Amino acid sequence: MAKAKCRTAFVVGGSGAIGAEICRVLARDGYRVAIGYKSHVSEAQALADEITVAGGTSSAFFCDVCDMSSVTATKESIEKAYGLVDTVVNCAGREAYRLLCDETAIGIAETLSVDLQGSVAVCRVFSPDMVSARFGRIVNISSVWGVCGAAMETVYSAAKAGIIGFTKALAAELAPSCVTVNAVSPGFIDTPMNARFTASERAAIAEEIPMGRFGTPSDVAQAVRFFAEEASAYITGQNLVVAGGYKNL
């Protein structure tokens, strides 16, 4: 792939396992990468340093996606450093693994706020400049559970299903301005979020996956990379499931 020329990507949740690999992949392709974080400042800064040492351009930026004023302030900070943000990857997420009867009003609100409303807020703040420039790429990270649902993850599944619906609607809205909006739905990815499973549970899950293994953050990052390319200009409103054939979704 040809190197991206003068392009800037903002990866929300860039300090997490999947987000960090997305940052690395985009940086290697020549993007100036703004790493969005809320609480993992040391991880975000370490990643920015890693990318810079490798010859890329990257900095860490605080962003609370639950606060639109924070998102706006982050946008202004990134623009001062790198100029127009033409690529946004919404990768912030909050785990919610419990029975619905054990959910609290606060827990429900927090999951929906981070996993759904946060992506809406980021798109609301960053998309107008893309529209004005008549170029932009938005990639929202959903989940396989947003497609088929999962017991013990009802609120999380609802939020991720909402991401898919939001992606399709925003894609239709922004298509006339040459801005694409797509989603990537990871399946079982080998990340700390899935460390709660025992060895026997992991083996049982792997048996359900036709490819016989968990996915990796790199598998997800390559899908994001594809949607971010200029060559994907005629693809929008799509949800790409990265799950090794799981449930043939």
CA distances (Å), origin 49, targets 52, 58, 59, 114, 192: 5, 8, 8, 26, 22
| Radius of gyration, CA atoms only, the chain | 17
pLDDT of residue 191: 87
Q: 179-186 and 32-37: which strand pairing?
A: unpaired
pTM for the whole thing? 0.95
Residue 26 near residue 9, CB atoms below 8 Å: yes
pLDDT of residue 197: 82
Residues with catalytic function? 156
pLDDT of residue 247: 79
The beta strand positions in the chain, using DSSP E, are: 8-12, 32-37, 57-62, 87-90, 136-141, 179-186, 239-242
Residues 8-188+218-242, CATH architecture: 3-Layer(aba) Sandwich (3.40)
Q: Which positions ≥6 away from 122 have C-beta within 8 Å?
A: 10, 12, 63, 65, 71, 88, 90
pLDDT of residue 79: 98
pLDDT of residue 67: 97
pLDDT of residue 140: 98
Q: Compute the distance between CA of residue 193 and CA of residue 198 in angstroms, rounded to an integer.
A: 13
Low-confidence ranges of the chain (pLDDT < 70): 1-2, 4
Domains of the chain, by residue range, sit at: 8-188+218-242
pLDDT of residue 1: 54
Residue 25 near residue 218, CB atoms below 8 Å: yes
